[in-house]
Amino acid sequence: MDTIAAISTPIGHGGIGIVRISGEKAKEIAKKIFVSKNDGFLPNTIVYGKIFDNSEMIDEVLVSYFKAPNSYTGEDVVEINSHGGILIVQRILDLVLKNGAIMAEPGEFTKRAFLNGKLDLSQAEAVIDLINSKTKIENQTSAKQLEGVIGDKIRNIKQRAIDILVDLEANIDYPEYDIEEISRNKVKSTIEALLVDLKELATSYEEGKIIKDGINIAIVGKPNVGKSSLLNRLLKEERAIVTDIAGTTRDTIEESIVYKGVALNIVDTAGIHETSDVVESIGVSKSKEAIENSDLVLLVLDNSIELDNEDIELLDNIKNHKKYILLNKIDINDKISENLLKYAKNSEILSISAKKNIGINELLDRIIEDFKAKEIEKNNDIIITNKRHKEAIDKTIISFENIVKATEVGTPLDMISIDIQNGISYLGEILGENVSEDIINGIFSKFCLGK
């Protein structure tokens, strides 16, 4: 396998920059360009020296050497820590490539770690989630997944399924021997116990999705009802232009905040109303799209004026979405509440004043409470955040539910074993045991260079 190299730190000015080399020739390549008083690389040590391009000194560096298999990738790895200037790091990388390495693909170091058995696929995916984490909660969850908690749980379930499959197949293949008959009740009870664990994991994805992606919130309403003022209050900065002129916001504005450890992805939409203006029409279309992609719609109504047909139409448009109805401008007067109840039955109605900052924190607290978003406790709870894992677990649940039904109607044991094999295969996909090369390449293509 080729020796690969890449810059493992962000491009830009910084205290240090790191060039990582992995493969059989990593040490040999490093020796060609690195000079130190200590001639030789000792595993798991840091050596001070200088990088040379022929006779020209490029930089003073610290070099770390990790001998296979005791490295991140499972191969010989050398990391060159230089000063963090763009030119310096790039010149060192160019020297490494000139002396026998090839440029690494995105995520190739972690891919090699997976292929060499240093990580299972769920741990490899946790690496990119950890890098991309935006909140403390996401950081905590990704770190636990990197430790292997998901892989350990899946392997436990998988092994229990394998054990029952082995017993079943022994009964099928060697009926003449005195092997204890595996009763359908035993198969059923074992699979039902596995289903409890699997469904618990599947259910955790609802919380996991919020942890990983945050809560997508769309602020909608007619023009000039206070949507942009609400956005500014939520962000605690003047992000959106606020005027008394209706239609000031003609496009969607997307921003994120972290509140009580949870990411809130907020979209301030253009006012939804009938218009002949081409630009406004595009904005209205994007607003409707934001509603469809949201986890929660905040419908802002002007509490100081009476409900009109456009408000009623908006209420109808979002009737199938999770929503809060926000009565804004309560600091002025109340002309809407009584009439609103006719059209907003069973809807959560909150009173706010974006201008006076009334009810904003209460709104945020309600969102967190409603979505049950909370920090991960320091216990053994395992939370699924990856859609690929969720889909594999769902397929396993279907296979195992088929087994339970089959035991109840007297299906032959060899037919039951097929569903067990399918479930085991689906669980193996989470660990990366039997996934296609295209899936593996797709996962690692999302990584940054140098990781």
**What is the location of CATH 1.20.120.430 in the chain?**
126-210+382-431
Q: 126-210+382-431 has which fold?
A: Four Helix Bundle (Hemerythrin (Met), subunit A) (1.20.120)
pTM of the shown model: 0.81
User: 50 forms bridges with which residues in the sheet?
Assistant: 35, 60
Contacts of 171 (CB under 8 A, 6+ apart): 179, 181, 182, 413
State the DSSP code for 321: S
Strand order in the sheet with 102-103: 34-35, 45-53, 56-66, 77-83, 16-22, 4-7, 102-103
pLDDT for res 35: 93
pLDDT for res 246: 43
Q: Are 109 and 451 contacting, i.e. CB atoms less than 8 angstroms apart? A: yes
**What is the location of CATH 3.40.50.300 in the chain?**
215-370
Q: Are 267 and 253 contacting, i.e. CB atoms less than 8 angstroms apart? A: yes
Q: Which residue has the tokens 């289903």?
A: 195
Region for 80 from its dihedrals, namely left if φ exceeds 0, alpha if ψ lies in -120 to 50, beta otherwise:
beta
Enumerate residue ranges in the chain where pLDDT < 50: 178-180, 240-250, 273, 276, 278-279, 376-379
Summarised one tens digit per residue, pLDDT across range 38-52 is 767 889 889 999 999
pLDDT for res 298: 92
pLDDT for res 251: 54
Rounded Cα distance between 17 and 81, Å, is: 6
**What is the location of CATH 3.30.1360.120 in the chain?**
4-119
Rounded Cα distance between 293 and 271, Å, is: 17
pLDDT for res 202: 96
- b/e map of 151-183 (b: 16 or more CB within 10 Å)? bebbbebbeebeebbebbbebeeeeeeeeeebe
pLDDT for res 289: 77
Rounded Cα distance between 210 and 135, Å, is: 11
Nearest to 79 by CA among 130, 5, 155, 1: 5
pLDDT for res 304: 82
Q: On the CB side of 207, how many CA atoms lie within 13 Å of its CA? A: 17
Nearest to 118 by CA among 138, 146, 141, 144: 146
Q: Domain 4-119 class?
A: alpha beta
pLDDT for res 249: 46
pLDDT for res 4: 97
Rounded Cα distance between 374 and 208, Å, is: 11
Q: 215-370 has which fold?
A: Rossmann fold (3.40.50)
Region for 226 from its dihedrals, namely left if φ exceeds 0, alpha if ψ lies in -120 to 50, beta otherwise:
left
